[in-house]
Amino acid sequence: MSRGRDDRRDEAPASDEDGVMRAHPEGTVVRLRVVAGARRTELAGVAGQALRVRVAAPPAQGRANAAILGYLAGLVGLRARDLEITAGERARDKLVLVRGRSPRQVRAALLEADR
């Protein structure tokens, strides 16, 4: 039995085929849906065409953004300064540029972290 599109939230955290990430001249752009002020920082599956990330830091004074970049950088094996929020700095929906990693490399790192 095939699963419906609504069940995709609980599947693997990222796939370049479903719009979560795309290639960029400098690396990969990942689409995020962020929930700030969570109990802990973690990947929380896919919501629509975005990777859902829960972050423990509050959304005030850029703390959540800094926490997101640090967390994702750790997952993909980079420094936080190698990632950049290119859109959505003050919104739940964000685009994050991961420099120096292909969509395949980012997807593999996120899948490994989700285990």
Number of domain units in the chain = 1
Count of C-beta atoms within a 10 Å radius of residue 91 = 11
Residue 18 or residue 47, greater confidence: 47
- CA 47/CA 29 separation, integer angstroms: 16
Q: What is the pLDDT of residue 113?
A: 80
Q: What is the pLDDT of residue 100?
A: 96
**Domain range for 24:** 5-113
The one-letter amino acid code at 37 reads: G
**pLDDT digits 0-9 by tens, 57-96:** 999 999 999 999 999 999 999 999 999 999 999 999 999 9
Where does 4-107 show beta strands of DSSP type E? 21-24, 27-36, 42-47, 50-55, 83-87, 93-99
Give the domain CATH number at 56: 3.30.1200.10
**Residue whose pair of structure tokens reads 């990942």 in the numeric block:** 30
- For residue 69, give the H/E element and its range: helix 63-76
